[in-house]
């Protein structure tokens, strides 16, 4: 791993889980960890309930847009966190892969998305503690 670790979050549409994870990591770790997110089949826009759930936590993801997964994004990341994309993520030797089993927020209302948002935050906090111990900002 380089001096500054990098994490890539991948889900199918890059419109919910991976966007929320990237936003949490950016919010909680600041510039201490490089953050990327992408989708294997990017959607047209971020799920409105994901935008609303993150706004409730004080994080604005409304200007984000789904991005396509590229081989370069995987190659340039130290850790690749997949969320429901199965075998469509390229695998490179020497990379660390994590698969987070999370419900898909697609088509769900805010009540159903809040627990997904909170579970993602918990997983991101654990990842920060592992990748940048003692350097994470206090939880807000």
* Catalytic residue, candidates 7, 89, 116, 127: 89
Residue 80 among the catalytic residues: no
Compute the distance between CA of residue 140 and CA of residue 138 in angstroms, rounded to an integer. Answer: 6
Known active-site residue 85: yes
Q: Of 62, 68, 67, 54, nearest to 25 (Cα)? A: 54
List 11, 22, 49, 116, catalytic entry: 11
Among 136, 8, 128, 2, which residue's Cα sits nearest to residue 71?
Answer: 8
The single residue of 35, 85, 102, 136 carrying the catalytic annotation is 85
Scanning the chain, the segments in alpha helix (DSSP H) are 17-29, 48-56, 71-75, 110-131
Upper half-sphere CA count for residue 101 (Cβ side, 13 Å):
0
C-beta of residue 68 within 8 angstroms of C-beta of residue 38: yes
Positions marked active-site? 11, 85, 89
């Amino acid at each position: 791993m380089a001096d500054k670790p990098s994490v890539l979050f991948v889900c199918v549409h890059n419109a919910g889980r991976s966007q929320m994870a990237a936003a949490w990591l950016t919010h909680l770790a600041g510039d201490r960890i490089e953050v990327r997110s992408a989708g294997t089949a990017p959607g047209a826009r971020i799920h409105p309930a994901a935008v609303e759930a993150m706004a409730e936590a004080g994080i604005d993801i409304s200007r984000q847009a789904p991005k396509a997964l590229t081989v370069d994004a995987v190659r340039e990341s130290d850790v690749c966190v997949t969320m429901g994309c199965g075998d469509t993520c390229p695998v490179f030797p020497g990379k660390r892969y994590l698969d987070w089993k999370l419900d898909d927020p697609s088509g769900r209302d805010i009540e159903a998305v809040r627990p997904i948002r909170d579970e993602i935050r918990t997983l991101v906090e654990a990842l920060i503690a592992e990748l940048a111990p003692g350097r994470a900002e206090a939880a807000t």
